[in-house]
Amino acid sequence: VQLQASGGGLVQAGGSLRLSCAASGHAFSTTYMAWFRQALGKERDFVASIRWNGGHTYYADSVKDRFTISRNSAKDTLYLQMNSLKPADTAVYYCAAGRPILSSMRYADSYTNWGQGTLVTVSS
């Protein structure tokens, strides 16, 4: 599965952005798709994931009630709607695809395919 992320940019605190991740090549074999983020000098952290079939969603506590992950199965596209953005949300955001089991789907090592990353900068 090849992934292409887009939609990052510069936004003021309190603003919104929507990230997209287009998947191609055997996307039907994916169990979960997810968004991770990596701030400068920090580890890559889980943001949200969605079960491709069924649509069950999971969120990091830091983004719950502000971010929404969704997918369009017909277009093989993953989205991340980010509202009420904070400067702490500044990071490179990566989309990922794979077949992790439920207990490991928050871990980056559980995903086999990654997009190139898109930078989100939130100014105060």
Q: What pLDDT is stored for residue 26 in this prediction?
A: 66
What are the backbone dihedrals phi and psi of residue 71, each rounded to the nearest 5 degrees, phi first?
-145, 150
Could you say which residues of the chain have pLDDT below 70? 26-28
Q: What pLDDT is stored for residue 27 in this prediction?
A: 59
What are the backbone dihedrals phi and psi of residue 101, each rounded to the nearest 5 degrees, phi first?
-80, 165
Q: What pLDDT is stored for residue 44 in this prediction?
A: 97
Q: Which residues lie closer than 8 Å to 93 by C-beta, 6 or more apart?
A: 5, 8, 19, 35, 36, 37, 47, 80, 117, 118, 119, 120
Q: What pLDDT is stored for residue 66 in this prediction?
A: 98
Q: What pLDDT is stored for residue 119 in this prediction?
A: 98
Q: What pLDDT is stored for residue 28 in this prediction?
A: 61
The alpha carbon of 95 is separated from its chain's Cα centroid by a whole number of angstroms, namely 5
